A and B are shown apart, each in its own frame.
Chain A
């Protein structure tokens, strides 16, 4: 086969963001990745902070002092909200990726109905569950505590 050297045109991370015309599942996909990376960053920070205990009680107390300020409280809540979304959307993805809720193959008749339409209620349910969890977390972390 004839091979030519073309001009590279792969979108890279720009392809995650897309334009303003993409559908809901595209945004959920991007948000799922971003919250996943956020949770990973939190875990790394968490390891660093708890590791300070190995340096003695004083170091531990200083570390706890540093992370107990108002900014960290809001940051902690954002981590929880990211967890709430990631968990709820993750359950939707597990179901969908096991073929549940996407419907059976059908004869394509225009205007096409796709698996996205078939699983839309699942996506809305997952968002609602994530939002409910995030609101409960806000009450617990930011109001009651």
Chain B
């Protein structure tokens, strides 16, 4: 366990400057230890006080934007969401997320992940484009229908799951846990009718069949998205579809508005429209 009473903390950081280095190298920094500091806070301290050239991505500092995924003491996690005190080691070892090329220092090239994500059409696919452009009402959805995909919609696209997946480590063709979980997020959405279009990708070599439930994606996911679960449920849907047992989902219709009614006297009128 890192010593919580120590005044200083040692960071070992994997550096790579493409115009100068032929391969990544390690560099050590000792910085003051402050109560409540996150691994990201430590990186900022190093940048501000010791080496302004240190590069990484971060933005929100609160586990929302998904920018700061890194390999911290051997585990893919968010730097802003990881307290120095919770790391079970005397040294904080920070490296870029593996399974992605390194652009510089701690900045991975996530574009293969986003390409795979885009190829799986992560949006509602419906025939009524006009209704989607100019909505006349809401698509109906019960709380039970919402639950079928809500967990998967919490993904912040940080890439930690991709860095932890042993299949993605050896197989660049595999789409990986994030894109697949997002495909399932839309396949399971009652307002979507795009299963057959996504199936064209999912049924092939980029689909979920190379996953064998090592489960690392779910173990490291900082948002509890459980991509391994999404992928296994997706496989079930694909098998059911193959043996013609899958019930075709008709995209949910626009809910009709209540036609007539009398306003209860205890409900005030809405304020006048401003736009």
Name A residues whose Cβ lies closer than 8 Å to a Cβ of B.
1, 3-16, 18-19, 21-23, 25-26, 28-30, 32, 93, 96-99, 102-110, 112, 114-116, 118
What are the 9 closest A-B residue pairs judged by CB atoms, nearest first?
A15-B169, A108-B224, A6-B101, A99-B236, A112-B224, A115-B229, A29-B214, A11-B169, A114-B218
CB contacts (< 8 Å) of A112 on chain B: these are 221, 224, 226
Nearest Cβ on chain B to A106's Cβ, whole angstroms: 6
Q: Is the CB of A97 within 8 A of B235?
A: yes
Instruction: Decide yes or no: A115 and B218 within 8 Å by CB, A8-B101, A25-B213 being known contacts.
Output: yes
CB contacts (< 8 Å) of A18 on chain B: these are 166, 216
Nearest Cβ on chain B to A47's Cβ, whole angstroms: 26
CB contacts (< 8 Å) of B11 on chain A: these are none
Instruction: Decide yes or no: A98 and B216 within 8 Å by CB, A6-B103, A16-B170, A115-B228 being known contacts.
Output: no
| 8 further contact pairs, Cβ within 8 A, besides A7-B24, A96-B213, A105-B188 | A4-B103, A7-B23, A9-B98, A10-B170, A12-B169, A114-B219, A115-B215, A116-B215
Tell me if B186 is interfacial: C-beta within 8 Å of chain A.
no
Tell me if B85 is interfacial: C-beta within 8 Å of chain A.
no
Name B residues whose Cβ lies closer than 8 Å to a Cβ of A.
16, 18, 23-24, 74-75, 96, 98-103, 108-109, 111, 147-152, 154, 165-166, 168-170, 172, 188, 211-216, 218-219, 221, 223-226, 228-230, 232-233, 235-236, 239
Main secondary structure of the interface of A (DSSP, over half): loop
Q: Is the CB of B166 within 8 A of A16?
A: yes
Q: Is the CB of B219 within 8 A of A116?
A: yes
CB contacts (< 8 Å) of A9 on chain B: these are 24, 96, 98-102, 108
Nearest Cβ on chain A to B168's Cβ, whole angstroms: 8
Q: Is the CB of A105 within 8 A of B229?
A: yes
CB contacts (< 8 Å) of B99 on chain A: these are 9-11, 15
> Which of A4, A5, A93 lies in contact with B213, CB distance below 8 A?
A93
Nearest Cβ on chain B to A90's Cβ, whole angstroms: 10
List 17 A-B pairs, Cβ < 8 Å: A7-B16, A7-B102, A9-B24, A9-B108, A10-B170, A96-B213, A97-B212, A97-B213, A97-B232, A97-B236, A99-B233, A102-B232, A105-B233, A108-B151, A112-B221, A114-B221, A115-B215
Nearest Cβ on chain B to A32's Cβ, whole angstroms: 7
Which residue of chain B has its CB nearest to the CB of A17?
B166
Nearest Cβ on chain A to B176's Cβ, whole angstroms: 12
Instruction: Decide yes or no: A26 and B215 within 8 Å by CB, A14-B169, A102-B228 being known contacts.
Output: yes
